[in-house]
């Protein structure tokens, strides 16, 4: 019976302890399993072949919304659990709210922690936890290339809700593409956070990255965050330098990023002086809202990192978590009150804070 396979995590913990005492090998894997498809079935069958008993953790509706956005899941948790429990390859199913599997692994202590994809075991945050009790991580490469996001994209296209559309402005036409899946981003201030603040930087020769900046941003990029730079450039509005100089500096900066294996999604800037009334100057939200719309961002799972209190105020207003780095102004600009969510010495330490936050 399907109902006999569905248990609470506490019940599953006891069942695993008993079965291991009987000499059975336990395999554990997890996922959202939203819109069950052939890829899921194939993966779970191969996972079952590794062990005597296969336990599957199903992400709750709450946990899925945290990292996939408010449009997901399509199928509610009670139905997803029954579908997984209905598969012959699956022995037990339970529901969990966390985004990561740290707590699940610590409780179940499976012989095999099984993951799908092209990971290397060394890249998994849970590897050390598994090895502490002499468990083993197994990676199963994806063989069926279909995904839930692909299925949803096809449905949207049929309904006329495709994510790509033609945009025409002043007789120029381009395709505007909005990512179908909501994902988090890291918003970065530029001067004083990523590069040295030399005051109205307009000469690429004076561009210098701060210590730990490239390493930290690469770590964030590898974690799957969108990388977005938001910067106030009042030197343009005051007339100290033209916009073209700003672009020349950015081109030099992006070249260094590319050489470090980092792809920056967008650079947004406010060209107005402080005396001009505009909504794009930080902590105004115009540029943030534009990024949210263009990149389909999950703001509650996003971070804003900067060296000024105005950066922290920008993040707070947008509902992001904030990290104040001690480089640049180090929060001594005194424009806004209130504490950031985290303090960090530099971007490398900030990336480690975000990684720790994800693990917890």
- Residue 299 in contact with residue 320, Cβ under 8 Å? yes
Give residue 152's Cα distance to chain centre.
Answer: 20
Helices (H), 119-276: 127-132, 148-158, 213-222, 234-238, 243-259
- Maximum CA extent, the chain: 78
At residue 269, what are phi and psi to the nearest 5 degrees?
A: -140, 150
Q: What is the CA radius of gyration of the chain?
A: 24
Let me know if 333 is a catalytic residue: no
Let me know if 245 is a catalytic residue: no
> Residue 99 and residue 253: Cα distance in Å, rounded?
34
Choosing from 34, 61, 111, 189, which is the catalytic residue?
189
At residue 250, what are phi and psi to the nearest 5 degrees?
A: -65, -40
Choosing from 61, 91, 191, 307, which is the catalytic residue?
191
User: By three-state DSSP, how is residue 360 classified?
Assistant: coil
> Residue 262 and residue 251: Cα distance in Å, rounded?
14
At residue 219, what are phi and psi to the nearest 5 degrees?
A: -65, -40
Specify the residue for token string 């210590």: 211
Peptide bond into 108 cis (omega under 30): no
From 67, 46, 49, select the one nearest 116 (Cα to Cα).
Answer: 46
> Residue 158 and residue 152: Cα distance in Å, rounded?
10
Residues labelled as active-site residues: 189, 191
């Amino acid at each position: 019976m399907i109902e006999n396979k569905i248990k609470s995590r506490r019940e599953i913990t006891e069942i695993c302890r008993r079965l291991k005492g009987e000499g059975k090998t336990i395999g554990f894997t997890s996922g959202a399993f939203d819109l069950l498809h052939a890829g899921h079935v194939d993966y779970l069958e191969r996972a079952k072949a590794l062990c005597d008993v296969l336990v599957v953790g199903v992400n709750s509706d709450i946990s899925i919304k945290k990292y996939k956005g408010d449009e997901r899941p399509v199928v509610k948790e009670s139905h997803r659990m029954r579908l997984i429990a209905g598969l012959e390859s699956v022995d037990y199913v339970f529901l969990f709210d966390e985004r990561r599997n740290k707590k699940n692994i610590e409780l179940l202590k499976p012989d095999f922690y099984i993951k799908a994809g092209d990971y290397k075991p060394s890249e998994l945050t849970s590897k050390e936890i598994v090895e502490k009790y002499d468990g083993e991580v197994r990676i199963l490469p994806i063989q069926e290339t279909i995904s839930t996001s692909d299925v949803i994209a096809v449905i949207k296209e049929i309904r006329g809700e495709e994510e790509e559309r033609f945009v025409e402005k002043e007789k120029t036409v381009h395709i505007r593409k909005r990512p179908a899946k909501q994902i988090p981003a890291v918003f970065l201030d530029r001067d004083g956070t990523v590069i040295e603040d030399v005051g109205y930087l307009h000469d690429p020769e004076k561009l210098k990255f701060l210590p730990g900046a490239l390493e930290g941003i690469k770590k964030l990029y590898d974690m799957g965050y969108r990388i977005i730079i938001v910067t106030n450039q009042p030197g343009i509005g005051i007339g100290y330098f033209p916009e073209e100089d700003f672009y020349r500096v950015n081109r030099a900066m992006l070249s260094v990023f590319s050489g470090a294996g980092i792809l920056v999604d967008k650079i947004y800037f406010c060209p107005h002086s402080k005396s001009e009334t505009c909504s794009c100057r930080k902590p105004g939200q115009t540029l943030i809202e534009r990024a949210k719309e263009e990149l389909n961002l999950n703001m509650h799972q996003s971070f804003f990192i900067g060296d000024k209190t105005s950066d922290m105020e920008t993040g707070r207003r947008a509902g992001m978590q904030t990290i104040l780095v001690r480089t640049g102004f180090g929060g001594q600009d005194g424009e806004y009150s209130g504490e950031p969510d985290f303090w960090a010495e530099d971007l490398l330490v900030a990336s480690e804070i975000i990684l720790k936050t994800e693990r917890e």
